[in-house]
């Protein structure tokens, strides 16, 4: 059995493509999901029966139970991909405190909980990799996406600090900050809005999940063993 990789939010477009790439590269892939049972079942079958784990990332106790199940069924995690996330659109004055809290629970708190539970094994074996999926809006902010931007910015700060903390233990921590990627998160945008994003992107197109997965696969490989604490943004040049 190859090294064990946990991909959170594996039922989404980017998460599923990451799982495919890592499986192709020889990792034993563990697939986290919450609601998308049909999608995760299909992906598991596609990947030869990959283990699946359900957890509501608003509930820390669900995350702890997920890691208990992983250890009991498969073993400890060598590679953690913190990909699960949710978005919110609208003026900050229309955003309720509960919606703000939910954004941070899923996009930031869950990253902390997953890292906290995965790290002890990595420290014991003096190796491991953590790759956090942030967003270009975590780098530069986006109007009408204040909570999402703030949460994804927090993931970037966590990545940089954790890389310094875990470096002496042989563990790398990096962050991928995608630009506009054609996934379900963009489905609410109109064709006109999507075209505007394309027009503002020097490469003239939206990104694909495979664009992100390829970078994650590289960071997960031995070729990236001397890279840590970095924020890499595949965004087609929309922010340079």
CA distance 31 to 5: 9
Q: Quick one: which of 122, 230, 222 has its CA closest to 168?
A: 122
Kindly report the CA angle at 96 between 91 and 102, in degrees rounded to 5? 105
CA distance 9 to 31: 8
Query: Which of left, alpha, beta for 195 (phi over 0: left; psi -120 to 50: alpha)?
Result: alpha
Identify whether 89 is a catalytic site residue: no
For tokens 């990236």, name the residue: 224
DSSP string for 59-125: -HHHHHHHHHHHHHHT---SEEEE-------S-GGG--HHHHHHHHIIIIIHHHHHHHHHHHHHHHH
CA distance 177 to 235: 8
Tell me what percent of the chain is helix, strand and coil, each rounded to the nearest 5.
Answer: 50, 15, 35
- For residue 230, what are its two tokens? 């970095």
Give catalytic residues, as residue numbers.
148
């Amino acid at each position: 059995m190859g090294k064990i990789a946990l991909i959170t939010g594996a039922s989404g477009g980017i998460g599923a493509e990451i799982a495919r790439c890592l499986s192709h590269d020889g990792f034993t892939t563990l697939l986290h999901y919450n609601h998308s049972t049909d999608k995760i079942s299909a992906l598991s079958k596609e990947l030869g029966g990959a283990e699946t784990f359900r957890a509501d990332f608003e509930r820390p106790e669900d995350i702890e139970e997920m890691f208990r199940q992983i250890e009991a069924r498969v073993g400890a995690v060598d590679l953690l991909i913190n990909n699960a996330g949710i978005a919110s659109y609208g003026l900050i004055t229309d955003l309720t405190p509960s919606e703000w809290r939910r954004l941070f629970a899923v996009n930031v708190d869950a990253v902390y909980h997953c890292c906290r539970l995965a790290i002890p094994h990595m420290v014991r074996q003096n190796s491991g990799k953590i790759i956090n999926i942030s967003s270009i809006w975590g780098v530069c902010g986006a109007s009408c996406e204040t909570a999402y931007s703030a949460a994804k910015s927090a993931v970037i700060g966590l990545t940089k600090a954790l890389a310094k903390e875990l470096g002496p233990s042989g563990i790398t921590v990096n962050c991928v900050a995608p630009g506009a990627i054609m996934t379900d998160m963009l489905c609410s945008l109109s064709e006109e809005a999507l075209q505007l994003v394309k027009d503002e992107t020097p490469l003239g197109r939206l990104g694909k999940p495979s664009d992100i997965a390829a970078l994650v696969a590289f960071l997960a490989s031995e070729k990236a063993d001397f890279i840590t604490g970095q924020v890499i943004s595949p965004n087609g040049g929309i922010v340079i």
